[in-house]
Structure 1
Amino acid sequence: MSNNNHDSENIESQKKLGAKQKFTISYDMPETEDHTIDAVVLGKSLISMAELIKESDKILNGEHSEVQIDVKANKEGSFAVEFVAWLQEGGIDVLKTIGITAASTTAAGATLFGIVKHLRSRKIQTSLIQTQNGFTKALLTLEDGTQMECDPRVKELLSSHSVRSKLATVIEQPAKNAEGAKIKVFSGDNDEETFVIEQEDVPSFKAPTKRLFQETEVTNRAANVVFIQINNSSRNGWRALIRDEEFAVKMDDEGFMERMNAKQDFPVKDEMFEVDLETTKKIYDGKTSYSYRITEVKRHRTTQDRKIL
């Protein structure tokens, strides 16, 4: 293939991707004082950084998303490697979510780098994702009982064992035995310092065990349900059809229960109602479970002459 054809292919490939973003990782430790670094350590770090970005991008933007990562010759410093990333337009900015190009003043829970550093090696016991009125937030509970809010997109990366392992190869493994180690991340043509990892931060970036933490996702939405089993005396023991599938549901609308029990001709069973439905999804040790709770019964979906609310 001629050079002209090869250049044309490169240009065409770049057109499919967004504007390039540049960042640099600098390893500052006794082993790099003469501007050298172990070739195996560097090789693993370079590969893991590329894989970290590509895998994180697919988690955030879907399997179809593409990222191209190039490496430029190192420049003077303790030991610095310059990366060039071409991101696909229109998606979530994966570099910003990781913390590579986000400002250093960004809140700890807003980037992967920031929250891992803030954890201080404390394990996450549970994560709770809450979605209500179109707004989603993540709440992490740590092993010491501390709770902290986290960007839901960052939580997605945190809960990926593969992402965390690659992050450890980039940060923790090169610096874990180096006295006074400091790793810096710079972004842009002006090499703006965006993140600094001191020696005391390094253990936080160690890869976690395979079992990470229990994840809970709570979503509230309006839904139409048909009650196929009711229980006059308890919030439990109710079953409903939701999108033509049968589920156990908890009835937590006390006012509806009282009205139902007060009237003999209050049609509920086999009737359709619009409700506020809370869905709880739990993931732990590779197993997923769902539970459903009705917080309010809002409307009886029937003819006008039969409506009870």
Structure 2
Amino acid sequence: MEYKEERFSISYDAEDNGLSDHKISAKDLGNAILGMNELVSEVYKTMYNDSSEAVELKVTAPAKEGSFIVEFLMASATPEVVSALRYIGIATATTAIAGGSLFEIVKAIKNKKIINVRFDKAKKFAHIDLGDETIVTDMTLGQLATDKKVRAALDKVAHEPLKGKKGASFKVIDEKEVTQFSATNDEVLSLSQMPEGSLEEHITDIEFTTVTFTQINFDSSKGWKMKHQGEERKVEMLDKNFLTKVAERKQEFVKDDLFEVRLQSESIRRITSRTSKKYKILEVTGHFASKERRLV
């Protein structure tokens, strides 16, 4: 089966002689082109759970007055690839999508930290919680706008080439030279990676507890392991006095000895993946051993 070709262009402009004279740094251009390929590929994979190389993207760069324009050609665009382009906002939409496009939703988020995203599968909507407001959009757009890989690729395409430039302007133009999306100045800044801490909940807890050490490092706070609540876990030893005593009395340290410690646990609960946890011993407060062997 033969499929049609899809053409679209990306326009970069700013108060910058290089862009208006059709010049852009090789690094910025290369990253933008790779970013566009990654963006379409990641959106396709997310929408269809397909890791195959279905995207065949080619580039021409015609010089047009007043800006630097990169023209893309999507060869053999399958209906699925066309749909992915439509969700991104780089193909003429045949039907409306709630929220418009990936470009529009990310622009509306305004580079704010995303607190949570809730999907209503029955109504096919996503609720993106930004703390001070909630954006309701198409469920697929919600998935794409909160996907780190998609946002990283979008950053390469739209934000990085114009980073730090005054009067920045970014446009997506279809093959009929109709502008499908535009962003200027601070709006361009919003087309970037998700802010640090998005979709994460940080929980810190400190407790007095008892542990045994199953692995020690006489020379560093790293490389320690403890047995705590029946589980062996990596732990960072932050008690410098205890580290000094251990280094001075290497021969007397018995790994199976029981210690009382002030233990800090740091949990990062990620909405889109499993929780990670780190442990740090702030202070060793007791050593259950004979008097002559006690380190604390």
Q: How does the TM-score come out when normalised to structure 1?
A: 0.60
Relative distance call for 1:37 and 1:72 in structure 2 (3 A) is same
Shift of 1:143: 2.1
Shift of 1:62: 2.5
Out of 25, 29, 36, the residue aligned to residue 49 of structure 1 is 36
Shift of 1:91: 6.4
- Give the whole-Å Cα distance in 2 for the aligned partners of 1:156 and 1:106: 17
Shift of 1:83: 0.3
Deviations 1:12-50 (A, max 9, x none): xxx46x321110001112131211111111011111111
Task: Determine the structure 2 residue equivalent to 1:39.
Answer: 26
RMSD: 2.6
**Aligned partner of residue 70 in structure 1, secondary structure:** strand
Task: Determine the structure 1 residue equivalent to 2:5.
Answer: 20
Gaps of 5+ in 2: 202-268, 276-296
Task: Determine the structure 2 residue equivalent to 1:200.
Answer: 186
Instruction: Judge conservation of contact 1:161–1:212 (CA < 8 Å) in 2.
Output: no
Out of 111, 115, 132, the residue aligned to residue 105 of structure 2 is 115
Deviations 1:101-141 (A, max 9, x none): 246x9677231100111112222211111123xx3211111
- Give the whole-Å Cα distance in 2 for the aligned partners of 1:153 and 1:56: 10
Task: Determine the structure 2 residue equivalent to 1:4.
Answer: none
* 1:100 has 2:90 as partner: yes
- Give the whole-Å Cα distance in 2 for the aligned partners of 1:56 and 1:108: 17
Out of 143, 156, 167, the residue aligned to residue 143 of structure 2 is 156
- Give the whole-Å Cα distance in 2 for the aligned partners of 1:62 and 1:76: 38
Amino acid across the alignment from 1:97: Y
Amino acid across the alignment from 2:19: T
Instruction: Judge conservation of contact 2:57–2:72 (CA < 8 Å) in 1.
Output: yes
- Give the whole-Å Cα distance in 2 for the aligned partners of 1:56 and 1:159: 12
Out of 104, 127, 134, the residue aligned to residue 117 of structure 2 is 127
Q: How does the TM-score come out when normalised to structure 2?
A: 0.62
- Give the whole-Å Cα distance in 2 for the aligned partners of 1:91 and 1:70: 14
Task: Determine the structure 2 residue equivalent to 1:272.
Answer: none
**Aligned partner of residue 71 in structure 1, secondary structure:** strand
* Number of residue equivalences: 202
Deviations 1:61-86 (A, max 9, x none): 23147121011232323111100113
Amino acid across the alignment from 1:88: T
Instruction: Judge conservation of contact 1:55–1:163 (CA < 8 Å) in 2.
Output: yes
**Aligned partner of residue 194 in structure 1, secondary structure:** strand
Task: Determine the structure 1 residue equivalent to 2:72.
Answer: 83
Relative distance call for 1:177 and 1:153 in structure 2 (3 A) is same
Task: Determine the structure 2 residue equivalent to 1:174.
Answer: 161
Gaps of 5+ in 1: 1-14, 216-281, 289-309
**Aligned partner of residue 90 in structure 2, secondary structure:** coil
Instruction: Judge conservation of contact 2:41–2:55 (CA < 8 Å) in 1.
Output: yes
Relative distance call for 1:108 and 1:39 in structure 2 (3 A) is farther
Amino acid across the alignment from 1:96: R
